[in-house]
Amino acid sequence: MTTSTVTPPAAGTRQGATHHRGSRIEHNRQRWGWFFLTPFAVIFLVFLVAPLGYAFWMSLHTKTLAAGESFTGIANYQRAFSDPLFLEGLLRVGKFVAVMVPIQIGVALAAALVLDTLATRLSKFSRLMIFAPYAIPGMIGALMWGFLYSPRFGPASDLFELVGATAPNFLGTGTVFGSLVNIVTWQWSGYYMIIIFAALRGIDPAIYEAARIDGATGWQTAVRIKVPMIASALVMVVIFSLIGTLQFFTEPAVLRTVAPGAIPADYTPNMYAFSLAFAYSQFNYASTIAFALGIVVFVFSYVFLYLTRKKSGLK
């Protein structure tokens, strides 16, 4: 009787086969990952990177009727940062930043803290109602508020007449600033509230129980526990608000049709660039204004992040 002996494969062979199979699976994953990423990458390059590159190239050139288009380097940027219209627009949006950002964040934080303490159906409904203005397109919201502000068609005159008073001109030179602050605060506070509320819900409830045991009041819990623990979320929403305010365009551009004397074409840097490009066909200088504003936004954002790096957890 013959006995055959089967020799098991060496351990190194099994490990080698397993490693080869694992490498092949990982290679297939990477290949399919790139396959699904390619459509987005193509759209990103074609519709964002390429236009930005072309706009930057235009900003380095100057086109005149006599000499045509010529390369002028940073001359357009030197002109932009000495242009009184551009500087006035920057100063104006700087005022909006000083007023609008604290109001927006304050309203959003207060709403989030109140809703975080509620555990009823009213809380869900309130979150939806506060967030709802963000779902309205900015242009539609500006048109709606333009109607409400209108001294001829809006309801303000009728409401003030009920108490024997005269309605102020919300679209006047001295009041349009506050009117724009109201529109943007109404539209964006709900979005910031959702971000802050999500950060609050991520805090361990055991911390609140420990605070109550130690005798902390609701106000102390909110100010000394909740707010410091969501500092990173607050920094993020401030950055969002800062960038959005410096790029202010939609609301004043829409209201300009009903308040032409109060909102000039160069009211904000973005409006100034739009007017240069599509009203005066100065596309090269308009590109320069746009990139100059981008530089200002980057500097402001970087400085703010640097000053708040400890609170936001950044190094």
Q: What are the pLDDT digits (tens) for 24-50?
A: 777 777 888 788 888 989 999 999 999
Is residue 53 scored above 60 in pLDDT?
Answer: yes
The rounded distance, in Å, linking the Cα atoms of 149 and 169 is: 8
Q: What is the pLDDT of residue 1?
A: 47
3-state secondary structure the chain: CCCCCCCCCCHHHHHHHHHHHHHHHHHHHHHHHHHHHHHHHHHHHHHHHHHHHHHHHHHCEEEECCCEEEECCCHHHHHHCCCHHHHHHHHHHHHHHHHHHHHHHHHHHHHHHHHHHCCCHHHHHHHHHHHHHHHCCHHHHHHHHHHHHCCCCCCHHHHHHHCCCCCCCCCCCCCHHHHHHHHHHHHHHHHHHHHHHHHHHCCCHHHHHHHHHCCCCHHHHHHHHHHHHCHHHHHHHHHHHHHHHHCCCHHHHHHCCCCCCCCCCCCCHHHHHHHHHHCCCCHHHHHHHHHHHHHHHHHHHHHHHHHCHHHHCCC
Is residue 9 scored above 70 in pLDDT?
Answer: no
Supply the angle between the helices 231-246 and 84-117 in degrees, to the nearest 10: 150
Mean pLDDT of the chain: 86
- Tell me the mean pLDDT in the region 264-271: 92
Judge: domain 78-312, CATH 1.20.120.1200.
no
The domain spans of the chain are 20-71, 78-312
